[in-house]
C-alpha cells in the first residue's frame, strides 16, 4: 500500500477513535457492561499509536501518538492493513472478530489482559463502534 493511502487510513481510524467517546456515551447497554471497568488500552496501528482511557465504562479520552513512555494495561497491535480489515464495514468470514485475527497472529494482544478478558463483551462492543458502518 502506498504512503498516501496508509495516511488516509490512519486519518480515518483516528477520526473514528475521536468520535468514540460520544458513541459509547450513547450506548446504554455498553455503559452498563463496563460500569466497573477502569483501564487504559493502547492500540498500535502500524507505526502509529493511540491510548484509550476507560473510566467506569466511559471513554474518558483518546490520545493519538507519538507517545513517549505510554502506560497502558494492555496493547493491541497490528499492521494498518490488518486494522483496515478488522474495522471494515463488510468483513468476510475469518475477519469478523478480534479473536480471529489474534488466532492468526495478525493482531497481537499483550500486557495485563485482566481488563480485557474480564470485560470481553464490553471491548467487542466498543470495537463495534469503530467499524465503518457504525462510524458517523
Partner 1 sequence: MTACIEPILGRYLHLDYAGRPYRIYFESAGPEGPKAGIPLLCLHTAGADGRQYRGLMNATSVTDRFRVIAFDLPWHGKSSPPEGWQDEEYRLTADFYTGIVMAFIAALSLERPVVMGCSIGGRVVLHLALRHPGAFRALIGLESSAHVDPYYDTSWLHRADVHGGEVAAGAVSGLVAPQAPAAERWETLWHYMQSGPGVFKGDLYFYGIDGDVRDEIARIDTSRCPLYLLTGEYDYSCTPEDTLTVARAVPGAKLTIMKELGHFPMSENPDLFLSYLEPVLAEIASPG
Locate 32 and state its grid cell: 452498563
Of the residues 103, 108, 112, 132, which one makes contact with partner 1 according to CB under 8 A: 103
Quickly list H helices, the chain: 3-25, 28-33, 80-86, 98-103, 114-117, 120-128
**Taking CB under 8 A as the rule, does residue 132 contact partner 1?**
no
DSSP state letter for 97: S
* Min separation Cβ 8 and partner 1, Å: 26
Q: Which three cell numbers stand for residue 85?
A: 480489515
CB 9 to partner 1: min, Å: 23
**Beta bridge mates, 62:** 52
Q: Rounded CA gap, 2 and 4, in Å?
A: 6
Site for partner 1 in 54-93 (CB under 8 A): 91, 93
Residue 98 C-beta: closest distance to partner 1, Å: 7
Q: Which of 47, 114, 132, 133 binds partner 1 (CB under 8 A)?
A: 114
Contacts with partner 1 by CB under 8 A lie at: 91, 93-94, 96-100, 102-103, 113-114, 117-121, 124
Amino acid at each position: 500500500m502506498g504512503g498516501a493511502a496508509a495516511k488516509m487510513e490512519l486519518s480515518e481510524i483516528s477520526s473514528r477513535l475521536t468520535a468514540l467517546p460520544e458513541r459509547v456515551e450513547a450506548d446504554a447497554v455498553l455503559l452498563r457492561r463496563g460500569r466497573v471497568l477502569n483501564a487504559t488500552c493502547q492500540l498500535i496501528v502500524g507505526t502509529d499509536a493511540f491510548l484509550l482511557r476507560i473510566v467506569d465504562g466511559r471513554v474518558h479520552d483518546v490520545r493519538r501518538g507519538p507517545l513517549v513512555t505510554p502506560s497502558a494495561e494492555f496493547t493491541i497491535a497490528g499492521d494498518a492493513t490488518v486494522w483496515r480489515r478488522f474495522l471494515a464495514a463488510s468483513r468476510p468470514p475469518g475477519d469478523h472478530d478480534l479473536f480471529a485475527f489474534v488466532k492468526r497472529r495478525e493482531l497481537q494482544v499483550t500486557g495485563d489482559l485482566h481488563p480485557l478478558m474480564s470485560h470481553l463483551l464490553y471491548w467487542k462492543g466498543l470495537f463495534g463502534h469503530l467499524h465503518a458502518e457504525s462510524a458517523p
